[in-house]
A = this chain, B = another copy of it.
């Protein structure tokens, strides 16, 4: 007897609750075979309507629920999609919400795994793979491109909101250029010329937005006004950037385009607190239009990504890879568009 498991029973039945009923229990109850019960629960042809009725009745009477783990194991296909997201990122939360309906429609079950401070993305992804996800949907993953490529070699992977040079995975994201372009157009149209950009470092989407900002500024003849302030995609990043700008001897820009909404909110926080009037003294524009941006108290001008379609395309891409109808490596891009709210307005004269 091995010390860690003195008695099988003690470990197998943790609480004195009644054992979960299985398919065999239902079959025995009705005096039929397991296979028949299985047919009924899989909604496959081969059982008479009366039998189906009886099976369902007996099952609910016994409290039988199909066991996913066994089902996954027995089926070649698990029909489970693993979703990695960052708990703190409201845009990711929006994506997760939007992924559910399409997944259900295509017959997939979802397993979520959150990257949180105490648990990095590697662990989160391992958990998903371990739970037999057939494919992975990664919301703005920050792990290295090599790691993503390795994952992509093992199973179908769809990356949301991040560009990759060359990984055997599908990519679903928004065009950054038109969005950033619209932001700069909007601000220039309001009369701004000193438009700074707080970037997101190397976070997903950030390099592209930075580049798009630069291009848009140049095309407005504002190349000499390009000002990029290092930041990242968190409130803290925005706060730090704002503090830096306030401490700086140089005058404040009249408008700041942040790399995402959280960063913009961080800017908003520090500026408001410092008595800087928004948008009179400084206009602020974010990116993502996460649900938090629309709150009227925040009321952030931002670039809306088409979250429902992003989510739908991502799930469909995963499904296509799983069905083998095409090779991985597709890149799908959606239009995004400016949503003007209260944090942007014409600059006041100095």
Contacts and interface: CB of A to CB of B under 8 A. Distances in A.
A279 to B, nearest CB: 14
Contact of A324 (B15, B78, B87): B15
Interface in A240-299: 265-266, 268-270, 272-273, 291-292, 295-299
Given A132-B68, A265-B295, A273-B297, A97 B104 contact: no
Contacts of A126: 65
A65 B130 contact: yes
A2 B39 CA distance: 12
A69 interface: yes
Nearest to A116: B97
Q: Could you tell me the dominant secondary structure of chain A's interface residues?
A: mixed
Contacts of A292: 292
Nearest to A111: B111
Given A2-B44, A73-B69, A131-B68, A16 B324 contact: yes
Interface size class of A (residues with CB under 8 A): 35 or more
A63 interface: yes
B77 A129 contact: no
Contacts of A12: 76-77
Contact of A11 (B77, B114, B118, B299): B77
B88 A291 contact: yes
A298 B272 CA distance: 10
A73 B73 contact: yes
Interface in A108-159: 109-114, 116-119, 126-127, 129-132, 134, 153-156
Given A118-B100, A273-B297, A295-B265, A69 B132 contact: yes
Contacts of A16: 324
Contacts of A165: none
A153 B112 contact: no
Nearest to A102: B118
Given A69-B69, A131-B68, A296 B97 contact: no
12 contacts: A13-B76, A14-B134, A14-B321, A17-B154, A65-B126, A69-B78, A87-B96, A104-B119, A265-B295, A265-B297, A269-B298, A272-B297
The 9 closest A-B pairs by CB, nearest first: A12-B76, A269-B297, A269-B296, A68-B130, A112-B112, A69-B72, A14-B322, A97-B116, A69-B132
